[in-house]
Chain A
Amino acid sequence: MRRLLLVTALVLSSPMPLAAQDSLPPAPYAYQQLDDPELEAKATDLMHTLRCLKCQSQSIADSDAPMAGDMRHQVRTRIAAGESPAEVRQWLVDRYGEYVSYQPRVTASTWPLFVAPLLVLLLAAFILRGRLVKRKEPGK
């Protein structure tokens, strides 16, 4: 109890707020939708597939972190300036790597993920064929 009091006293006597929160207002387009509904829909779809870097299991559309707001601002202003969603995604991937994108791409390290299900299907078809052919044999 005494320790708790001490910690509370220390926190209260700190010269600056201890919470890691900035005091600036959010970027203009962090919470403000674009006027054109079509562009806003494009931007929103994209924001749902971009990873928030501060809260790494959320998309920037889901997160209230100031940095996610700043990323939404970038997405909306770039879409409004005529960039395609693919270009905006690439702009972020060029800076943070594929990690920032929730949309998987076939690359040198991810191709087994795409090939494995096909192999399993082929294997299943092969085994199934073997069984069906065998079962027919006695009837011949």
Chain B
Amino acid sequence: MKRLRIFLWVLVAVVGGLFVLFGYQLTQPKDEFIQSAMVGEPLPDFDLRPAIDTMPGLSKADLADGKPRLVNIFASWCLPCRAEAPQLETLRAAGADIVGIAIRDRPEDVAMFLQLYGNPFTAIGADDISQVQLELGSSGVPETFVIDGNGVITYQHIGDIRPEHVQTILYQLREAGA
């Protein structure tokens, strides 16, 4: 009888513990960000045509020339990309070399986007079937990667860059050797 009583109390404790666990998990903020597993890995081989006529496209070789850069994954049809435009301009003014990859975009739409929200880029490649985006382990727009001078991915920022993120990204760029 005593053993049964102990067993029942253990059961109550286990179930109680489960509820505490559920309560804890339910009060945690939801995290829908999917981190790229490519951070720390070299860039995949790619060679993208220019997204607009007046600027160069983007290939892996462009990103392995010794200079660390920011690669900004964006699209003209992406609303948060407009919101982060001023922050990209701040980063450019602080000396960052920013190249873009335009996802599923038409040249005229990219040109219009740059005209309206500014052009912080030194080159923009067009990724029409999200191939390079998938290669990078990026799951949406906008995302920003820090690439060191050897073409290795050292940092991933998911979502639009807000003013409070600028310092972190500059720091990561310096860490990459800028």
Q: In the complex, A96 Cα to B135 Cα: how many Å?
A: 10
Is B139 among interface residues, defined by CB-CB distance under 8 A?
Answer: yes
Q: Are B104 and A94 in contact (CB under 8 A)?
A: no
Please state if B135 and A95 are interface contacts (CB–CB under 8 Å): yes
- Tell me if B91 is interfacial: C-beta within 8 Å of chain A: no
A-B contact count (CB 8 A): 77
Q: How many residues of B contact A (CB 8 A)?
A: 30
In B112-145, the 8 Å CB interface with A consists of 112-113, 116, 128-131, 133-137, 139-140
Cα separation A93 to B130 with both chains bound (whole Å): 17
Question: Are B139 and A53 interface neighbours, CB within 8 A?
Answer: yes
Q: Which residue on chain A has the smallest CB distance to residue B139? A: A53
A71-B34 in contact given A17-B77, A23-B109 (Cβ < 8 Å): no
List residues 10-54 of chain A with CB under 8 A from any CB of chain B: 15-24, 27-28, 53-54
| Residues in A whose Cβ lies below 8 Å from that of B77 | 16-17, 19-23
List 25 A–B pairs whose Cβ atoms lie within 8 Å, in order of A's numbering: A16-B76, A16-B77, A17-B77, A18-B79, A21-B77, A22-B77, A22-B103, A53-B139, A54-B139, A56-B32, A70-B104, A70-B129, A70-B130, A71-B130, A74-B134, A92-B134, A93-B37, A95-B36, A95-B38, A95-B134, A95-B135, A95-B137, A96-B137, A96-B139, A97-B35
